[in-house]
Amino acid sequence: MKFLLLIYTDDTLLEALPAGAFDQMMHGCITHADELKAQGTLLESQQLEHGSTARTVRVRDGKTQVVDGPFAETKEILGGYNLIEADSLDEAVKIAQEFPWIGTGSIEVRPVRDFDAVRRRVGA
Measured in degrees and rounded to the nearest 5, phi and psi for residue 82 equal: -130, 130
- Pairing state of beta strands 2-10 and 55-60? unpaired
pLDDT for 11 beyond 70? yes
Task: Give the 3-state secondary structure of residue 109.
Answer: strand
Q: What is the pLDDT of residues 88-107, one digit of tens each?
A: 999 999 999 998 888 888 89
Give the model's pLDDT for residue 70: 65
pTM over 0.85: no
pLDDT tens-digit map of 13-66: 988 999 999 999 999 999 999 999 999 999 999 998 888 888 888 889 999 888
- 3-state per-residue secondary structure call for 53-99: HCEEEEEECCEEEEEECCCCCCCEEEEEEEEEECCCHHHHHHHHHCC
Domains and CATH numbers, the chain: 2-122 (3.30.70.1060)
